[in-house]
Structure 1
Amino acid sequence: MQKTSNSLTKFSILLVSVITASAPAINANIPALAKAFPTVPLSQVELLTTIPSFFLMLSILFSSWVAQRIGLKQTVQLGVAITAIAGLTPVFTNSFDLILVSRAAFGLGVGLFNSLLVTIISSFYEDQERSKLIGFQSIFEGLGGVLVTFIAGQLMNFGWHVSFWAYLITIPALVFFTLFVPKISTTKPVVKTENNLPKTPLFNSRLISLLILTFVVVSFYMIMGIKVPTLIVDSGYGTTTSASYVILDLSLGSMAGGAIFGKLYDWVKNYVIVLGFSSLAISMALIALSNTISVTILGGFLTGLGFRLYIPWALNIVNMGGNGNPWATSLILMSYNLAGSMAPYTALLLQSVLKINQLRNIFWMNTIAYLVITILVVLFLVGFSKFRNRVTDNT
């Protein structure tokens, strides 16, 4: 494990995390973009907000390969540079196809460094400091969502082109990372295990379960993100600008979730995800019932809070050990982004299968899904706790 005490190094690593959650910040643009491109189906317009996730997933597949050849730091720098160029491209074009390509490139760039950030944190820090910094990473991801969403929402008053200037945030992230993060060794670490987590094979039941759970959780989370602006505008109680405030509060909730994750995990351990899923279920019910922007904003905040209790928990579980587990981290993030990229079509499929005709009913579907997940997780954790106690008593 490499050692570093420079607080600017921590800040620079975390600042890059600002970019990783910024792709959904233009979700509130969907109604405006749909009007700007009336011949393009709505599902394809919505794809602008989710296609970064698909290419992020593909990029994760070879990010470690690239890092082994040019270095971890250089790979992050390359990824951030790509996101800067791709993020600003829509400012200068009226071509839907080019905008779609730029959004794909944005995801490609993020994918080059997304999984490596957790590896870098695990290379510099361990134990409680590692889990604390992973929690702070969620705060900075949420902060990025807040800043980019807020700026994009305000700039949207001047047109959807102008709103993409919000991605200038990528420039200081690149500068700080370049200046203050030292070169990082790419040699394969010897992973040491913690008391309750012995060394496991490349694939194991815990990892497979996390991959499936992540896919399901993210699918319903992303469906909320792409559908809530349309719900607000179509229901007549808000505009695209006010819809951006819901996405903004979703990011604020993410920040809050990241801020409290470390303490909550210390207090309740794995039961932290029960709190997360409960928050998600409540938030979806609030949005389904809402007829005012304030209630929907509250639902957005609780959505971000619950979701950011789950993600750092999953990443912390697979990175327990002295130097992290980049393979497992990459798989979790691939599951995350596969679910995110498929969200518009997952929504269409569920609407068709469940015969959902009203937009509000999509949020009732999400409510039921998260309630079921919460109950199943509680049953699993209680059952596992009893099993562990029996084993302890017999030894």
Structure 2
Amino acid sequence: MQKVSNRLTKFSILLVSVITASAPAINANIPALARAFPTIPLSQVELLTTIPSFFLMLSILFSGWVAQKIGLKQTVMLGVTITAVAGLTPVFTNSFGLILISRAAFGLGVGLFNSLLVTIISSFYGGQERSKLIGFQSIFEGLGGVLVTFIAGQLMNLGWHASFWAYLITIPALVFFMLFVPKIPTVKNNVETEKDLPKVPLFNGRLISLLILTFIVVSLYMIMGIKVPTLMVNSGYGTTTSASYVILALSLGSMTGGAIFGKLYDLVKNYVIVFGFGSLAIAMALIALSNTTVLTILGGFLTGLGFRLYIPWALNIVNMGGKGNPWATSFILMSYNLAGSLAPYTALLLQSVFKIKQLRSIFWMNTIAYLIIAVMVVLLLVGFKRFHRRTLDEV
């Protein structure tokens, strides 16, 4: 471990973390972008907000390989550079195709460095200092989502092009990291040989179930994010700027959910997920009923809160017992990003299957879906404890 005490080094690493949750910052742009590109189907316009997730998922798969080839610091700098160029490209172009490519590249860039930040922290710091900095890294990630969303929302008053200036934060992040983070020696992975891997099946019933559940939960969650701005504008009680406050509340709710998960889990154990799905169901119902920005903002906050109770619960389940599948976390995150990237088309499919013509009906569908999932989870936890314990022992 390379010892580094410079406060600027810590700040530079944390500043890069600000970028990792900034992709949804322009979700409130959807109505304005739909007007700017009237010949483009709405589902393709909505894809601008979700396609980063797909390419983020892809780049996570080879970010470690790139780091082994060119070094950790260089990989982060490459990723932030790609993110900076891609994030700011829509400011200067009216080509929908180029904007779509830039959004894909944005996800690609973020995926190159976001999975390496903890590794970098661990390269420089140990013990309580490392744990503390990892905690700050999570906080900066959440604050980054809030900050960039807020700035993008304010700039939206100047037009949809201007809102992308919010990604200017990538420039100082790149400069600080380049100047104040020392070169990090390339180290080999701790797990090198097949004999070092835990002898567990790559997939089991519990992991497959959680992958499916994660895909469903994230799909419904992302549908909320991409449909709320259009609902507010079409219903006449909000603008693209006020819709950005809902996305902001979503980020604040996510931060709150992440902050309380540990303590809530200590109190109620796996029943924490019932609170998560309950919060999501209430949020969807509030948005479906809402005719005011304030009520929709509350729905956004509860959505973020409930969702951030689900994700750590799912990751905890697949890693329970300390002998879990080493690939489980990666598969859960891949399911997360795949669902996010496909959300516009998932919404179209659900609208077609259930003959949904009104936007509010989508949120009623989400409400019912989350309630059904909550009931199923309660039945699993209460009525099938013996089966639950047996499946846990498989991993």
Output the aligned Cα RMSD.
3.4
**Alpha carbons 1:13, 1:181 under 8 Å: kept:** no
2:371 counterpart residue number:
371
2:221 counterpart residue number:
221
CA deviation after TM superposition for structure 1 residue 262, in Å: 3.1
Distance 1:284 1:83, change over 3 A: same
Partner Cα separation in structure 2 for residue 169 and residue 64 of structure 1: 25
2:285 counterpart residue number:
285
Partner Cα separation in structure 2 for residue 275 and residue 199 of structure 1: 34
CA deviation after TM superposition for structure 1 residue 129, in Å: 9.3
SS at match of 1:62: helix
Give the partner amino acid of 2:272.
V
**Alpha carbons 1:135, 1:262 under 8 Å: kept:** no
Partner Cα separation in structure 1 for residue 266 and residue 128 of structure 2: 9
CA deviation after TM superposition for structure 1 residue 356, in Å: 0.7
Give the partner amino acid of 1:140.
F
1:299 counterpart residue number:
299
Partner Cα separation in structure 2 for residue 105 and residue 389 of structure 1: 43
**For each residue in 1:281-327, what CA deviation from the matched residue of structure 2 results, as whole angstroms up to 9, or x when unmatched?**
111111011111100000001111111222234345556799x9874
Unaligned runs of 5+ in 2: 193-197
1:193-232, aligned counterparts within 5 Å? 200-232=200-232
**Alpha carbons 1:233, 1:239 under 8 Å: kept:** yes
CA deviation after TM superposition for structure 1 residue 207, in Å: 3.0
CA deviation after TM superposition for structure 1 residue 54, in Å: 1.7
2:35 counterpart residue number:
35
2:380 counterpart residue number:
380
Give the TM-score taking structure 2 as reference length: 0.85
Number of paired residues?
Answer: 385
**Alpha carbons 2:381, 2:388 under 8 Å: kept:** no
Partner Cα separation in structure 2 for residue 201 and residue 123 of structure 1: 31
2:115 counterpart residue number:
115
Distance 1:29 1:186, change over 3 A: same
1:341 counterpart residue number:
341
1:77 counterpart residue number:
77
1:189 maps onto 2:190 in alignment: yes
**Alpha carbons 1:288, 1:363 under 8 Å: kept:** yes
2:310 counterpart residue number:
310
**Alpha carbons 1:132, 1:262 under 8 Å: kept:** no
Give the TM-score taking structure 1 as reference length: 0.85
Distance 1:59 1:310, change over 3 A: same
**Alpha carbons 2:68, 2:186 under 8 Å: kept:** no
1:260 counterpart residue number:
260
**For each residue in 1:332-367, what CA deviation from the matched residue of structure 2 results, as whole angstroms up to 9, or x when unmatched?**
222111111110110000000011111101001111
**Alpha carbons 1:135, 1:312 under 8 Å: kept:** no
2:332 counterpart residue number:
332
Identity of aligned residues (%): 85
CA deviation after TM superposition for structure 1 residue 3, in Å: 8.2
1:248 maps onto 2:260 in alignment: no
**Alpha carbons 1:72, 1:186 under 8 Å: kept:** no
CA deviation after TM superposition for structure 1 residue 47, in Å: 1.1
1:169 counterpart residue number:
169
CA deviation after TM superposition for structure 1 residue 265, in Å: 3.3
SS at match of 2:18: helix
**Alpha carbons 1:152, 1:164 under 8 Å: kept:** yes
Partner Cα separation in structure 2 for residue 274 and residue 123 of structure 1: 38
CA deviation after TM superposition for structure 1 residue 209, in Å: 2.8
Partner Cα separation in structure 2 for residue 213 and residue 124 of structure 1: 37
**Alpha carbons 2:29, 2:160 under 8 Å: kept:** yes
Partner Cα separation in structure 2 for residue 381 and residue 132 of structure 1: 34
1:151 maps onto 2:117 in alignment: no
Unaligned runs of 5+ in 1: 192-197
